[in-house]
Amino acid sequence: MKYIDNQPNPKNRKKMEENNPPKLKSEEQVDLTLDKEVGKNLEKFKAFLKDSSDVVIREFSLGTQSIPCALVYVDGLVNIAVINEQILKPMMYQIALLETSLNQPIQPDKIFEVVKLHALTVGEVKEVKTLDDAFLRVLSGEVAVIIDGFDKILIANARGWPQRGIQEPPSETVIRGPREGFTETLRVNTALLRRKIKDPNLVIKTVQVGRRGKTDVAYAYIKGVASQELVEEVERRLNQIDVDIFLDSSQIEQYIQDNYLTYFPQIEVTERPDKTVASLAEGRVAILMDNSPFALIVPATFYQFFQSAEDYYERWILASIIRLLRWSGAILASLTPALYVAIVSFHPGFIPTNLVISIAATRATVPFPAFVEALLMEITFELLREAGARLPRAIGQTIGIVGGLIVGDAAVRAGITSPIMVIVVAITAIASFIIPSYSAAMAIRLLRFPFIVLAATFGIYGVMLGFIILNVHLVTLKSFGVSYMTPQAPIRYQDWKDFLIRLPSQIMMRRPTSTYPVDIDRRNQDPVKEETQ
Amino acid sequence: MKIKKLAIVLMLPILLTGCWDNVDLADINIVTAMGIDKAEDGKVIVTVQVVEPAALQSSSSGQARGGSAQPKPVFVESYEGETISDALISMKSIVDKRLFLSTIQVLILGERFCKDGINEALDFLHRDYQSEYLTDVLVAKDVTPEQILKIQSDMEAIPAMYIKGTIENTAIRAKVKRTTLIELFKDIKNKCRQVTIGQITKVNEKTVKTEGSAVFKDGKLVGWLDQYQTRGYLFATDKVKSTIVNIPVTNGKMSIEVSNSSGKLDVEFKNGEPAKLSIQVNLEGNIVEYIGKETLDSPGNIYKLEKILSQEVKKEIVMTLNKAQKDYSSDIFGFGTVVHKYHPHYWEKVMDEWNDVFSRLPADIKVEAKIRRAGLIKSPMMKDE
């Protein structure tokens, strides 16, 4: 990926330097190496954090010898009870008890080890030797324990912040199937994955992304299933990202996708742990980000956007019929208005005479050509949809009533549009919402605008031309080395079992070949078990 | 650079000819029926029946607008010209929008036009891209096409739809020869069979009747077949799907619905010359109505009925064949096809005077009729003894 290097021009640069005196950054004010004295180390912390009200620095003495110590943590990110009971209490009080009962003070050069091994009753304790590391830990909710006489810091995990509970994913509801969805906390999300795969081969690796945000981004895959090349590619692309902050996984998607000039999504997004796990089992890699309830799944092919988790929970015949319905919905959503415009303004001979007459009858009073009429109504619909999506739910309903009933009916009565056009727009709208993936549905729905323009200029010929160009574009797309239109182009008949329809689970014993899995057969996926046999 | 190239490639198709005639549905006159006739001076008169969709909508939804007179759902206009296309184009001087011909449901040919020969005259309809090949073609008997198209039916707001409906009923009547435009073009080009077209007559200002057929010879109208002769013709040429045949029985009448019929033509050759025409018809029927005294409970009775039915159908075929041979000397059945197929050398020689040869040949007509079902009751309606 190549970015345009947007250098500020020299004039502005000079002004920027004037406004910002040197040595404003804390990094430039203090030495960043750790000192042995608590006071000096604290100075360094304070240089950065003194203006932040949520940072707590607690100085205290350790044991009978009153060795000066300090705690640094961020209020709100930590569990105060853990700090009081498991960190402060042992260090301030119980060590002194120990010393008096042994009748012998602990030697000052051993105190660091003693605290680590005997005092801190916390699960996760680490040592860090640089200030940078310490900052990262403290700002992620851990507690820094600074002890006089050592140029290293003990880090105890006492994380605990307010978080949203596990809820039903609002963007992907099912009638039958698990109801849990990812939350904004990475650890909860990885736990949800672990709860579904108890295979030690499930790997969840974490990298930090964003120079200032330093967001934890985890990518998960099953070793021995996911192709090694794919994993390396994901790692490479994640490490390549160089920005300051990230707010949501969709921003990661924008940086790691193959082609940013198309409006078809090339990475699948899901809120559902079960869907994520199913993808992992197919040999894909899932990318989870802290602070985002959406997991990214790569590689993604076009047909995945037509699959819903429920397809696999419902009986296969019903699921297949519904899946076919989705495909026809996609065609309806993108082509109906265009075909209507083309037929009405170029080829009335295509449709039965009775229908021609009734269409002509409804259009007789409409002053606009079909093209203008279609554009007008489609844009109105998009306005209503967007207005409804961003409004509070209570007002959203009002928009639906005003838009759908009043505007639709009044437009027909006023002679601005014909009833048939309203039907066409309604069919398009309903059909576009049948596609489970929101971003794919959006892309497919917006396709109708270029198609309407083509239909108005060239008729059916234009629609066909547009369709061909669209297909050429789709087959050139790739997602992490996999052709976007697999298994249709290139044709892989093995994968057709789960493409337009879904065959019974008993028949789908192999993983899709499009992800190039290490192990194609689902049945001997557990190498540990195989070795013991 | 790449994007520039791509843009150029994407622009190229614009240079191709697309559908150039962008005409909005609101800017065309929807022609539902067309009539073609000839004036006495040899000019072509073209009549079109055009739908007024707006008027149609208001009349169907019953909203009278402002109490004014109900606008007519269709208007009929005629114009004279040297050719069909000339008349159609000249007609623009009296109609407000472009005439759109793809929606034509029925094409009605005038008697005088047909008598002068239709072979060359229909060139325009074959050449023009707007022609709808599934248009039904009819010949108007005793009236001009214009008079037919000007009727105002109570059954349908659009007369063309009404006429089309009457022809579609042929499927259960078999009393009119249904000819679509594409079949007509095929028959005109085919030397082995002469053209026959369904016939339409006017009953009164509101009703027309499609019954019987017009017989052509070498593209010229030579005569007519009545409804029974038409059915005989359709039986022989395997075009009957269903029909009702009335047969006389002792002390009564009986109607039999033919549900299945197949006809086969053949020409028997002797010494390299055609010796006999043969027509073989097999049909199956059910008794639908019986007004009589005898019960129908024995196979013998049914067998007797089958005999009568066969004779009745045979009578119709004989009548038609006689008419075609003696009166019109026109091979409307298509015996020529058989000769062409199985005796191509003889056909080469006789091609041009085949109609005369056909007229001289004796015929052997066989009809095999079966009665399958007698409905819900066996005996006629009468008091039990």
Instruction: Identify which of B71, B90, B92, B87 has the alpha carbon closest to the alpha carbon of residue B35.
Output: B87
CB atoms within 10 A of CB B317: 24
* Cα dist from A81 to A115, A148, A165, A222, whole Å: 19, 25, 21, 37
Contact B120, B148 (CB under 8 A): no
- Beta carbons of A457 and B13 less than 8 Å apart: no
Instruction: Identify which of B285, B259, B282, B288 has the alpha carbon closest to the alpha carbon of residue B171.
Output: B259
pLDDT at A254 (0 to 100): 92
Low-confidence ranges of chain B (pLDDT < 70): 1, 13-22, 57-71, 382-385
For B133, name the nearest residue in chain A, comparing CA atoms only. A349
β-strands A285-289, A215-222 pairing: antiparallel
Domains with residue ranges and CATH for chain B: 22-61+68-225 (no CATH), 236-385 (3.30.300.210)
Mean pLDDT of chain A: 87
Structure tokens at A366: 């409409």
ipTM of the complex: 0.75
Sheet of B363-373: strands edge to edge? B243-249, B252-270, B273-291, B363-373
Mean pLDDT of chain B: 87
Per-residue model confidence as pLDDT tens digits over A125-178? 899 888 888 888 999 889 999 988 888 899 999 888 888 889 999 888 888 889
For A350, name the nearest residue in chain B, comparing CA atoms only. B102
Round to whole Å and give the CA distance between B336 and A188: 87
Q: Judged by CB atoms within 8 Å, which residues 315-374 of A form the interface with B? A: 344-349, 353-354, 356-366, 369-370
Per-residue model confidence as pLDDT tens digits over B270-287? 888 889 999 999 999 999
Round to whole Å and give the CA distance between B215 and B193: 11
pLDDT at B313 (0 to 100): 93
Contact A290, A186 (CB under 8 A): yes
Round to whole Å and give the CA distance between B333 and B53: 42
pLDDT at A191 (0 to 100): 94
Q: How many CB pairs under 8 A join A and B?
A: 78
- Beta carbons of A370 and B24 less than 8 Å apart: yes
Mean pLDDT of A207-227: 92
Q: Which residue blocks in A173-290 are alpha helix, DSSP H?
A: 186-194, 228-240, 249-256, 273-281
Q: Judged by CB atoms within 8 Å, which residues 432-471 of A form the interface with B? A: 456-462, 465, 469
Instruction: Identify which of A176, A213, A117 has the alpha carbon closest to the alpha carbon of residue A311.
Output: A176
- Beta carbons of A461 and B19 less than 8 Å apart: yes
For B18, name the nearest residue in chain A, comparing CA atoms only. A458
pLDDT at A364 (0 to 100): 80
Mean pLDDT of A502-506: 89
Instruction: Identify which of B154, B105, B113 has the alpha carbon closest to the alpha carbon of residue B133.
Output: B105
Considering CB atoms only, which of A353, A369, A462 is closest to B105?
A: A353
For A358, name the nearest residue in chain B, comparing CA atoms only. B53
pLDDT at B70 (0 to 100): 62
Considering CB atoms only, which of B21, B56, B103 is closest to A353?
A: B103
Chain B residues near any Cβ of chain A (below 8 Å): 10, 13, 18-19, 21-26, 28, 30, 32, 51, 53-54, 56-57, 100, 102-103, 105, 130, 132, 158, 161
Question: Chain B contacts of A347, Cβ < 8 Å?
Answer: 19
Per-residue model confidence as pLDDT tens digits over A343-395? 988 888 888 888 888 888 888 888 888 899 999 889 988 888 888 888 887 77
pLDDT at B65 (0 to 100): 45
pLDDT at A269 (0 to 100): 93
Considering CB atoms only, which of B22, B103, B158 is closest to A349?
A: B103
* Cα dist from A139 to A136, A142, A269, B74, whole Å: 5, 7, 28, 82
Round to whole Å and give the CA distance between A455 and B111: 44
Considering CB atoms only, which of A346, A360, A458 is closest to B26?
A: A360
Element (H, E) at B283: strand B273-291
Q: Which of A339, A341, A346 to mutate to test the interface with B (most CBs of B within 10 A)?
A: A346
Mean pLDDT of A308-327: 92
Mean pLDDT is lowest, of A280-294, A394-408, A448-462, for A394-408
pLDDT at A388 (0 to 100): 80
- Beta carbons of A465 and B13 less than 8 Å apart: yes
pLDDT at B66 (0 to 100): 45
Residue A55, strand partner residues: A74
Contact A196, A309 (CB under 8 A): no
Round to whole Å and give the CA distance between B136 and B31: 14
pLDDT at B385 (0 to 100): 56
CA distance, residue B160 to nearest chain A CA (Å): 11
Q: Which of B20, B25, B59, B156 to mutate to test the interface with A (most CBs of A within 10 A)?
A: B25
Considering CB atoms only, which of B19, B57, B105 is closest to A346?
A: B19
Contact A125, A116 (CB under 8 A): yes
Q: Judged by CB atoms within 8 Å, which residues 176-215 of A form the interface with B? A: none
Instruction: Identify which of B270, B272, B277, B265 has the alpha carbon closest to the alpha carbon of residue B346.
Output: B272
Question: Chain A contacts of B158, Cβ < 8 Å?
Answer: 357
- Beta carbons of A346 and B21 less than 8 Å apart: yes
Round to whole Å and give the CA distance between A171 and B107: 58
pLDDT at A172 (0 to 100): 87
pLDDT at B255 (0 to 100): 92
- Beta carbons of B21 and A469 less than 8 Å apart: no
DSSP state at residue A164: P
